[in-house]
């Protein structure tokens, strides 16, 4: 057996707790769901999962240890990640309300690749994710067994749980705010709120160690 049921259930519980913890990925998912709809927000969620895979690969390859021990590398990635979140926040705050029709607001359809790419960078430019996985992964990978199958189980569990939580919880939660998108004032309020949240998370990334 690749992993025992006890280890896998512990992994599953840890993944659920991690995914439900609010962060840039959750804010990005809710923002996408509001602007583009819950179905199209899935592209952003998938982009975030690819970034998670990259983080696990980085840790498995030993690069994560190098990043965690190098203040320069860690700082560069940390500032790049914070700058990107601030950019997303400011862009969202400055976004003009969309044209109105007799019914709901007319949404500008963003390309799937653009949504996917933003989700990827939101999760990738987070050096603390590398440090987290550096501490997280060894708890569920036994050195006396073949590592690749264990990593596949770990990555598969992380991705499935995160997709379910992001899409069925955070994207669904955004529906309760959908009524604010019916007029220009509501759109400005939501853009300001979610833009402010991106900037707040950037501040946490920089100032909380």
Domain region containing 88: 23-207
Integer Cα distance of 116 and 121 in angstroms:
9
Integer Cα distance of 172 and 33 in angstroms:
8
Instruction: Please say whether the beta carbons of 113 and 147 come within 8 A.
Output: no
- Residue 18 falls inside a structural domain: no
Choose among 46, 42, 33: nearest CA to 173.
33
- Residue 1 falls inside a structural domain: no
- Residue 12 falls inside a structural domain: no
Question: Mind spelling out the 3-state secondary structure of 147-195?
Answer: HHHHHHHHHHHHHHHHHHHHHHHHHHHHHHHHHHHHCHHHHHHHHHHHH
Q: How many structural domains is the chain composed of? A: 1
Dump pLDDT digits (tens) for 143-163: 778 888 889 999 999 999 999
- Residue 194 falls inside a structural domain: yes
- Residue 110 falls inside a structural domain: yes
- Residue 15 falls inside a structural domain: no
pLDDT of residue 106: 44
User: Which two structure tokens, joined as six digits, stand for 148?
Assistant: 């690749």
- Residue 17 falls inside a structural domain: no
Dump pLDDT digits (tens) for 65-86: 787 788 888 888 888 989 999 9
- Residue 164 falls inside a structural domain: yes
Q: Which pTM was predicted?
A: 0.83
Instruction: Please say whether the beta carbons of 74 and 153 come within 8 A.
Output: no
């Amino acid at each position: 057996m690749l992993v025992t049921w006890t280890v896998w259930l512990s992994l599953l519980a840890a993944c659920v707790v991690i995914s439900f913890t609010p962060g840039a990925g959750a804010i990005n998912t809710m923002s996408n769901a509001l602007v583009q709809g819950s179905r199209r927000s899935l592209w952003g969620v998938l982009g975030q999962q690819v970034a998670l895979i990259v983080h696990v690969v980085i840790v498995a390859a030993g690069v994560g240890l190098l990043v965690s021990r190098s203040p320069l590398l860690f700082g560069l990635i940390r500032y790049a990640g914070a700058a990107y979140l601030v950019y997303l926040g400011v862009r969202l705050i400055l976004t003009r309300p969309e044209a109105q029709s007799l019914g709901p607001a007319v949404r500008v359809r963003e390309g799937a690749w653009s949504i996917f790419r933003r989700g990827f960078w939101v999760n990738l430019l987070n050096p603390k994710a590398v440090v987290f996985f550096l501490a997280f992964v060894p708890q569920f990978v036994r050195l006396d067994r073949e590592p690749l199958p264990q990593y596949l189980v770990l990555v598969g569990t992380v991705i499935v749980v995160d997709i379910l939580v992001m899409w069925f919880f955070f994207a669904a939660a955004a529906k309760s705010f959908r009524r604010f998108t019916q007029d220009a004032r509501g759109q400005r309020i939501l853009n300001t709120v979610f833009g402010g949240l991106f900037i707040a998370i950037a501040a946490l990334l920089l100032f909380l160690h």
